[in-house]
Amino acid sequence: MILNYLDKIKRKNIYSIILIILISGCSSTKDRFERDLPSLPSDWSTSYESLKNISGWAETFNDKELVDIINEAIENNRNLRAASNRLEIARASSRASIAPLLPSVSVGLSKNQISRTIESKDDIKRLYSYKDSLGVQLNWEADIWGRLSRQSRSSFIEAEAAEADYEFVKLSIAGLTAQSWYLFSEAKLQNDLAKRNLETRLSTLKRVENRYKKGIAQSRDLRLARSELESTRADLINRQQLLFETARTLEVIIGRYPNASILPGGLPNLPPNPEIGTPSERLPLRPDIRALEAQLESAGLQLTSARLAFLPQLSLSAQWSTLDDNWSDALEPKKLAGTIIASLTQSIFQGGRRISNSQIKKAQLERILENYSQALLEAAQEAENAIAAEETLTKREEAINKAFNESKAAEELTLEQYNRGLSTIFELLDSQSRRLNAESLLINAKRLRLTNRIKMYMAIATPVFGNE
């Protein structure tokens, strides 16, 4: 019955929540927030070609290792576990919030000592007797104005906010895991590239040494080749250190001890462009936005409840107790004594506590409204940036790929010319460095597109897995 009563207090949208302020006599505040609340456009500012409708983004990369590592993070990440604990606390608090709507019943058992004095000519005696009593007391505040039900509903909505917070943490952990996984994969590829480059420098040094022994190359050429070799060796050391650091970062995210024992994967091809909907469709689905909406509704109910506290309160109390020591007859009406009291009280003066509490609730509502407005703008920024980057990063990778192909061809040509004595060691080392830099940038460009796609999935509230 109580739950059915609570269900009558339906959840309202954001603009109807603002009306709570208007009902409370704050029309100017309501007007200000309706004016300042950002509106969501019907389309994104960047042109985007949608190709595929997906239900979960983790599977779109066709990377089983990524799916496994995300599942491990969801299972073991400490921050997500803490969010789960906060959710359980909020749910327990919401269940406890029903209690003020229900009568409180207490049972008391007492044993009373009764003494009397008997006087005689020769003596004065004091006699003692004992009387047992069983009493039942019931107290209940009738929620005639809906103050208590609003407080209870507010607690349930706070639980909804905690659930949305949990989903946001879960989505964030999944996104962070995926991004860290591909950072780790890039670090491995960059490390492998540095190893290959070291082999190239060794080969070049041997070639220069042979030419030097034949008197074809100068001492300067030999020293330059050795210098480039040692610089490449130092770069490889840095790449190895970065590989270990990215491994440890990923291990902490997924709940493992950071000993850099995890094995990296590769960089898969980018999946087709997903369907992204419109700002007004996608942004309100974000769990962080839904959490703020729930907090906003809860704050509105708290404000209304605080102002209903100015109205009289109706309470009922009843008490029954036994009149006889024989408890076997305690339930007989003639053996019971009871009272029922109904009272209507109106508080006159509480030192400004109710006024201050109402002001606090109003300020909290206004703060959440401002946070909600700012969160909408920031969510839109994240989505717009990610969508726009889809095109720019694609063009960047295409340009870098062309640069790599040209630099590779130039390196091969320069090596051939150097062997024929038609180019200098400077030109050979420079062509090798250009090819190395282009290949390194190409690896980085592929990773950036992958991580940006993950950011876009998160920004438009795409579920991690299709069954969510």
Task: Please give the share of the chain, as a percent, with pLDDT higher than 90.
Answer: 51
- Token pair in block for residue 464: 């991690």
Cβ atoms of 30 and 15 closer than 8 Å: no
Q: Looking at the predicted structure, is the pLDDT value of residue 162 above 70?
A: yes
pLDDT for residue 77: 92
Of residues 346 and 220, which shows the higher confidence score? 220
Bridge partners, residue 339, by sequence:
319
Q: What integer is the mean pLDDT of 396-410?
A: 96
Please, which pLDDT band fits residue 25 given cuts at 50, 70 and 90?
A: very low
Question: For residue 449, with 0-12 CB atoms within 10 Å meaning exposed, 13-18 middle and 19 or more buried, which class applies?
Answer: buried
Q: Residue 21 pLDDT more than 50?
A: no
Average pLDDT of span 275-300: 92
Single-letter amino acid code for the residue at 135:
G
pLDDT of the residue at 27:
44
CA geometry: angle 191, 61, 453, nearest 5 deg: 85
What average pLDDT is seen over the chain? Answer: 84
β-pair partners for 127: 116
Q: How far is CA 335 from the centre of its chain?
A: 61
pLDDT of residue 26: 44
Distance CA 422, CA 206 (A): 18
Cα 449 to its chain centre, rounded Å, is 23
Residues 2-102+153-312+376-459: name the CATH superfamily. Answer: Outer membrane efflux proteins (OEP) (1.20.1600.10)
Given this model, what pLDDT does residue 42 score?
Answer: 87
Furthest C-alpha separation in the chain = 147
CA distance 6 to 297: 15
Q: Does residue 329 or residue 28 have the better pLDDT? A: 329
Closest C-alpha to 178, from 460, 467, 456, 466 = 456
pLDDT grade for 407, boundaries at 50, 70 and 90: very high
Query: Between these two residues, 135 and 233, which has the higher pLDDT value?
Result: 233
Looking at per-residue pLDDT, the higher value among 226 and 19 belongs to 226
Region 296-321: mean pLDDT is: 82
Q: Where are the domains of the chain?
A: 2-102+153-312+376-459
What does the pLDDT read at residue 24?
46
pLDDT of 349 higher than 80: no
Reported residue count of the chain is: 468
Closest to 243 measured CA to CA, from 183, 194, 189, 187: 187
Q: Name the residue among 25, 63, 99 with its Cα closest to residue 184.
A: 63
Q: What is the dihedral of CA 370, 374, 377, 383, to 10 degrees?
A: -130
Rounded Cα distance, 159 and 382, in Å:
27
What pLDDT score does 2 carry? 38
**DSSP SS3 for 105:** strand
More confident residue, 415 or 133: 415
Containing 135, the helix (H) or strand (E) segment is strand 124-142
Among 39-43, 57-61, 439-443, name the one with the lowest average pLDDT.
39-43
Residue 54 has pLDDT above 60, yes or no: yes
What's the CA gap between 140 and 314, in Å, rounded?
9
Say if CB 164 and CB 290 are below 8 A apart. yes
Phi, psi at residue 63, to the nearest 5°?
Answer: -125, 95
Name the pLDDT band for 452 (thresholds 50, 70, 90): very high
Long-range contact pairs involving 407-413 (C-beta distance under 8 Å, separation at least 24): 407/431, 407/434, 407/435, 407/437, 407/438, 408/435, 408/438, 408/439, 410/434, 410/435, 411/435
Task: Determine which of 73-77, 135-139, 220-224, 262-266 has the lowest per-residue pLDDT on average.
Answer: 135-139
How far apart, in whole angstroms, are the C-alpha atoms of residue 192 and residue 186?
10
| Cβ neighbours, 10 Å, residue 15 | 11
Tokens read off for 458: 């998160």
What pLDDT score does 113 carry?
62
Please say whether the beta carbons of 316 and 142 come within 8 A.
Answer: yes
For residue 326, give the nearest of 316, 318, 317, 335 by alpha carbon.
335
Which strands form 336-345's sheet, in the order they lie side by side?
Answer: 104-119, 124-142, 313-322, 336-345
Residue bearing the bigger pLDDT, 310 or 405: 405
Question: What CA–CA distance (Å, rounded) separates 397 from 389?
Answer: 12
pLDDT band, very low/low/confident/very high, at 177 (cuts 50, 70, 90): very high
Amino acid 317: pLDDT: 80
Q: How confident is the model at residue 93 (pLDDT cuts 50, 70, 90)?
A: confident
d(CA 135, CA 319): 7
Confidence tier at 336 by pLDDT (50, 70, 90): low
Q: Amino acid letter at 185?
A: S
